[in-house]
Protein backbone atom coordinates (compact mmCIF):
# COMPACT_ATOMS: atom_id res chain seq x y z
CA UNK A 1 0.00 0.00 0.00
CA UNK A 2 1.34 3.45 -0.93
CA UNK A 3 0.14 6.61 0.82
CA UNK A 4 -0.15 9.79 -1.23
CA UNK A 5 -0.97 12.66 1.08
CA UNK A 6 -1.85 16.20 -0.01
CA UNK A 7 -1.06 18.97 2.45
CA UNK A 8 -2.77 22.10 1.21
CA UNK A 9 -1.40 24.17 4.11
CA UNK A 10 -3.06 27.60 4.48
CA UNK A 11 -4.25 27.77 0.87
CA UNK A 12 -7.50 27.91 -1.12
CA UNK A 13 -10.85 29.67 -0.90
CA UNK A 14 -14.25 27.96 -1.14
CA UNK A 15 -14.49 28.20 -4.95
CA UNK A 16 -10.97 26.83 -5.36
CA UNK A 17 -11.79 23.85 -3.17
CA UNK A 18 -14.87 23.14 -5.31
CA UNK A 19 -12.82 23.49 -8.49
CA UNK A 20 -10.11 21.16 -7.21
CA UNK A 21 -12.48 18.28 -6.46
CA UNK A 22 -14.46 18.85 -9.63
CA UNK A 23 -11.31 18.76 -11.79
CA UNK A 24 -9.74 15.86 -9.90
CA UNK A 25 -12.96 13.91 -10.38
CA UNK A 26 -13.01 14.44 -14.14
CA UNK A 27 -9.28 13.83 -14.59
CA UNK A 28 -9.19 10.68 -12.56
CA UNK A 29 -12.32 9.09 -14.02
CA UNK A 30 -12.59 6.57 -11.24
CA UNK A 31 -14.89 4.33 -13.23
CA UNK A 32 -11.83 3.35 -15.24
CA UNK A 33 -9.07 4.09 -12.77
CA UNK A 34 -9.45 2.31 -9.52
CA UNK A 35 -6.87 3.05 -6.90
CA UNK A 36 -5.74 -0.43 -5.94
CA UNK A 37 -3.27 -0.37 -3.12
CA UNK A 38 -3.10 3.43 -2.88
CA UNK A 39 -4.46 5.49 -0.02
CA UNK A 40 -4.98 9.07 -1.15
CA UNK A 41 -5.45 11.51 1.73
CA UNK A 42 -6.25 15.19 1.19
CA UNK A 43 -5.66 17.65 4.04
CA UNK A 44 -7.46 20.98 3.46
CA UNK A 45 -7.77 23.72 6.08
CA UNK A 46 -10.17 23.14 8.98
CA UNK A 47 -12.77 25.49 7.53
CA UNK A 48 -12.96 23.51 4.30
CA UNK A 49 -13.17 20.01 5.80
CA UNK A 50 -16.95 19.84 5.76
CA UNK A 51 -17.09 21.11 2.18
CA UNK A 52 -14.39 18.63 1.13
CA UNK A 53 -16.34 15.82 2.79
CA UNK A 54 -19.49 16.68 0.86
CA UNK A 55 -17.58 16.93 -2.45
CA UNK A 56 -15.91 13.56 -1.86
CA UNK A 57 -19.37 12.08 -1.25
CA UNK A 58 -20.92 13.89 -4.22
CA UNK A 59 -18.31 12.58 -6.68
CA UNK A 60 -17.90 9.28 -4.85
CA UNK A 61 -14.12 9.73 -4.77
CA UNK A 62 -11.76 7.15 -3.22
CA UNK A 63 -10.11 9.92 -1.18
CA UNK A 64 -9.70 10.07 2.59
CA UNK A 65 -9.68 13.32 4.50
CA UNK A 66 -7.07 14.54 6.94
CA UNK A 67 -6.59 17.62 9.12
CA UNK A 68 -3.34 19.60 9.24
CA UNK A 69 -3.33 20.13 12.98
CA UNK A 70 -5.18 19.28 16.19
CA UNK A 71 -5.42 20.79 19.65
CA UNK A 72 -3.04 19.46 22.32
CA UNK A 73 -5.99 19.75 24.73
CA UNK A 74 -9.30 17.92 25.06
CA UNK A 75 -12.61 19.61 24.19
CA UNK A 76 -13.48 22.38 26.64
CA UNK A 77 -12.48 25.92 27.55
CA UNK A 78 -9.75 26.39 24.92
CA UNK A 79 -10.89 29.26 22.74
CA UNK A 80 -10.07 28.81 19.08
CA UNK A 81 -8.88 25.21 19.35
CA UNK A 82 -10.11 22.26 17.30
CA UNK A 83 -10.10 19.09 19.41
CA UNK A 84 -9.30 15.57 18.28
CA UNK A 85 -12.82 14.56 19.30
CA UNK A 86 -14.30 17.10 16.85
CA UNK A 87 -12.01 15.94 14.07
CA UNK A 88 -12.88 12.32 14.72
CA UNK A 89 -16.34 12.99 13.30
CA UNK A 90 -14.95 14.37 10.05
CA UNK A 91 -11.56 12.93 9.14
CA UNK A 92 -9.50 9.76 9.44
CA UNK A 93 -6.04 11.31 9.58
CA UNK A 94 -4.24 14.23 11.16
CA UNK A 95 -0.80 15.71 10.43
CA UNK A 96 1.12 16.38 13.64
CA UNK A 97 4.53 17.95 14.14
CA UNK A 98 5.02 19.62 10.76
CA UNK A 99 8.13 21.82 10.88
CA UNK A 100 6.02 24.84 9.94
CA UNK A 101 4.11 24.35 13.20
CA UNK A 102 7.21 23.62 15.24
CA UNK A 103 9.02 26.68 13.87
CA UNK A 104 6.25 29.27 13.41
CA UNK A 105 3.99 28.34 16.32
CA UNK A 106 6.53 27.06 18.85
CA UNK A 107 5.07 23.56 19.06
CA UNK A 108 7.33 21.45 21.25
CA UNK A 109 7.69 17.72 21.82
CA UNK A 110 5.45 17.75 24.89
CA UNK A 111 2.54 19.35 22.98
CA UNK A 112 3.09 17.09 20.00
CA UNK A 113 3.07 13.96 22.15
CA UNK A 114 -0.20 15.13 23.76
CA UNK A 115 -1.70 15.68 20.32
CA UNK A 116 -0.79 12.18 19.20
CA UNK A 117 -2.32 10.67 22.36
CA UNK A 118 -5.58 12.56 21.93
CA UNK A 119 -5.71 11.76 18.22
CA UNK A 120 -5.35 8.07 19.02
CA UNK A 121 -8.18 8.25 21.60
CA UNK A 122 -10.41 9.90 19.00
CA UNK A 123 -9.70 7.15 16.48
CA UNK A 124 -7.53 9.33 14.22
CA UNK A 125 -4.40 8.11 12.49
CA UNK A 126 -1.46 10.42 13.15
CA UNK A 127 0.88 11.36 10.34
CA UNK A 128 3.83 12.45 12.44
CA UNK A 129 6.47 14.62 10.76
CA UNK A 130 10.11 14.18 11.64
CA UNK A 131 12.84 16.46 10.40
CA UNK A 132 15.57 13.87 10.71
CA UNK A 133 16.66 10.80 12.66
CA UNK A 134 17.06 12.85 15.84
CA UNK A 135 13.39 13.93 16.04
CA UNK A 136 11.59 12.26 18.97
CA UNK A 137 8.75 9.96 17.99
CA UNK A 138 5.88 9.24 20.42
CA UNK A 139 3.93 5.99 20.72
CA UNK A 140 0.69 5.55 18.79
CA UNK A 141 1.84 7.13 15.55
CA UNK A 142 0.44 5.50 12.39
CA UNK A 143 2.61 7.08 9.73
CA UNK A 144 5.97 8.83 9.92
CA UNK A 145 6.63 11.54 7.35
CA UNK A 146 10.33 12.27 6.93
CA UNK A 147 10.50 15.93 5.96
CA UNK A 148 13.91 17.63 6.08
CA UNK A 149 13.27 21.35 6.57
CA UNK A 150 15.63 22.39 3.77
CA UNK A 151 13.59 20.39 1.24
CA UNK A 152 10.18 21.89 2.02
CA UNK A 153 8.94 24.28 -0.65
CA UNK A 154 12.44 24.79 -2.01
CA UNK A 155 12.31 22.66 -5.15
CA UNK A 156 15.29 20.72 -3.77
CA UNK A 157 14.13 17.25 -2.76
CA UNK A 158 16.07 14.80 -0.60
CA UNK A 159 17.54 11.90 -2.57
CA UNK A 160 15.47 8.70 -2.80
CA UNK A 161 18.48 6.82 -1.35
CA UNK A 162 18.64 8.99 1.77
CA UNK A 163 14.86 8.86 2.27
CA UNK A 164 14.96 5.07 2.06
CA UNK A 165 17.83 5.01 4.56
CA UNK A 166 15.89 7.15 7.07
CA UNK A 167 12.77 5.05 6.48
CA UNK A 168 14.54 1.80 7.27
CA UNK A 169 16.20 3.36 10.34
CA UNK A 170 12.77 4.40 11.69
CA UNK A 171 11.29 0.98 10.96
CA UNK A 172 14.16 -0.75 12.77
CA UNK A 173 14.03 1.51 15.82
CA UNK A 174 10.27 1.96 16.31
CA UNK A 175 7.21 -0.28 15.96
CA UNK A 176 6.18 1.63 12.84
CA UNK A 177 5.81 0.10 9.42
CA UNK A 178 4.72 3.09 7.35
CA UNK A 179 7.22 5.83 6.51
CA UNK A 180 6.65 8.38 3.78
CA UNK A 181 8.70 11.30 2.45
CA UNK A 182 7.77 14.98 2.07
CA UNK A 183 9.67 17.94 0.60
CA UNK A 184 9.41 19.25 -2.97
CA UNK A 185 7.86 16.06 -4.36
CA UNK A 186 6.55 16.59 -7.90
CA UNK A 187 5.15 14.57 -10.80
CA UNK A 188 8.70 14.47 -12.17
CA UNK A 189 10.26 12.96 -9.04
CA UNK A 190 7.48 10.73 -7.68
CA UNK A 191 8.64 7.67 -9.62
CA UNK A 192 11.99 7.71 -7.80
CA UNK A 193 10.33 7.82 -4.39
CA UNK A 194 7.86 5.00 -4.92
CA UNK A 195 10.16 2.52 -6.60
CA UNK A 196 11.67 1.40 -3.29
CA UNK A 197 9.67 -0.87 -1.00
CA UNK A 198 11.22 0.77 2.05
CA UNK A 199 9.35 4.01 1.45
CA UNK A 200 5.56 3.83 1.67
CA UNK A 201 4.55 6.99 -0.11
CA UNK A 202 4.84 10.75 -0.13
CA UNK A 203 3.42 13.91 1.35
CA UNK A 204 3.07 16.64 -1.28
CA UNK A 205 2.56 20.32 -0.48
CA UNK A 206 2.90 22.68 -3.43
CA UNK A 207 2.38 19.95 -6.02
CA UNK A 208 -0.95 18.96 -4.47
CA UNK A 209 -2.60 22.35 -4.93
CA UNK A 210 -3.17 21.82 -8.63
CA UNK A 211 -5.52 18.85 -9.28
CA UNK A 212 -3.84 18.04 -12.57
CA UNK A 213 -0.37 17.94 -11.02
CA UNK A 214 -1.61 15.91 -8.06
CA UNK A 215 -3.37 13.44 -10.35
CA UNK A 216 -0.11 12.97 -12.29
CA UNK A 217 1.49 11.98 -8.98
CA UNK A 218 -1.30 9.59 -7.97
CA UNK A 219 -1.48 8.05 -11.43
CA UNK A 220 2.17 7.05 -11.36
CA UNK A 221 1.62 5.16 -8.11
CA UNK A 222 -1.11 2.97 -9.54
CA UNK A 223 -0.44 -0.70 -9.82
CA UNK A 224 -2.25 -2.62 -12.56
- 39, 85, 100, 147: which one is catalytic? 147
- Ramachandran bin of 153, using left for φ above 0, alpha for ψ from -120 to 50, beta for the remaining angles: left
Residue 15: active-site member: no
Should residue 217 be labelled a site residue for ligand PGA when binding is judged by CB under 6 A? no
> Can you name the residues that pair with 63 across neighbouring β-strands?
40
The residue among 65 and 83 lying less far from ligand PGA, judged by its C-beta, is 65
Contact flag: residue 132 with ligand PGA (CB under 6 A): no
66 binds ligand PGA (CB under 6 A): no
206 binds ligand PGA (CB under 6 A): yes
83 versus 215: smaller Cβ distance to ligand PGA: 215
Per rule CB under 6 A, is residue 148 in the interface with ligand PGA? no
Determine whether 218 is exposed, middle or buried from the number of CB atoms within 10 Å of its CB (0-12, 13-18, 19+): buried
| Binding residue for ligand PGA, selected from 65, 152, 180, 217, defined by CB under 6 A | 152
Residue 224 carries which DSSP code?
-
In this complex, which beta carbon is closest to ligand PGA, that of residue 94 or of residue 204?
204
| Spatial CA neighbour of 218 closest among 197, 196, 194, 198 | 194
Which of the residues 98, 100, 107, 158 is marked catalytic?
98
Instruction: Judge contact between 153 and 208, C-beta under 8 A.
Output: no
Q: Does 211 bind ligand PGA (CB under 6 A)?
A: no
Q: Which of residues 180-199 bind ligand PGA (CB under 6 A)?
A: 182-185
Q: Which helix (H) or strand (E) holds 167?
A: helix 160-173
What size, in residues, is the chain?
224
Q: Work out whether 94 is an interface residue with ligand PGA (CB under 6 A).
A: no
- What is the C-alpha radius of gyration for the chain, rounded to an integer number of angstroms? 16
Q: Which of 56, 53, 61, 63 is nearest to 31 (CA)?
A: 61
Catalytic residues: 98, 147
Residues that bind ligand PGA (CB under 6 A): 7, 147, 152-153, 182-185, 203-207
Amino acid sequence: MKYIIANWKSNKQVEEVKDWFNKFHSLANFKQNNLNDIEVVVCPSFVHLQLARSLINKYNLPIKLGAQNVSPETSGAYTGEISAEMLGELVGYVIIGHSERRDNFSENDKMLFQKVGLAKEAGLKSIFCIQGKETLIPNNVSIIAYEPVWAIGTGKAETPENTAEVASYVKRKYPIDTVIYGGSVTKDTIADFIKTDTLDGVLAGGASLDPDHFWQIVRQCQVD
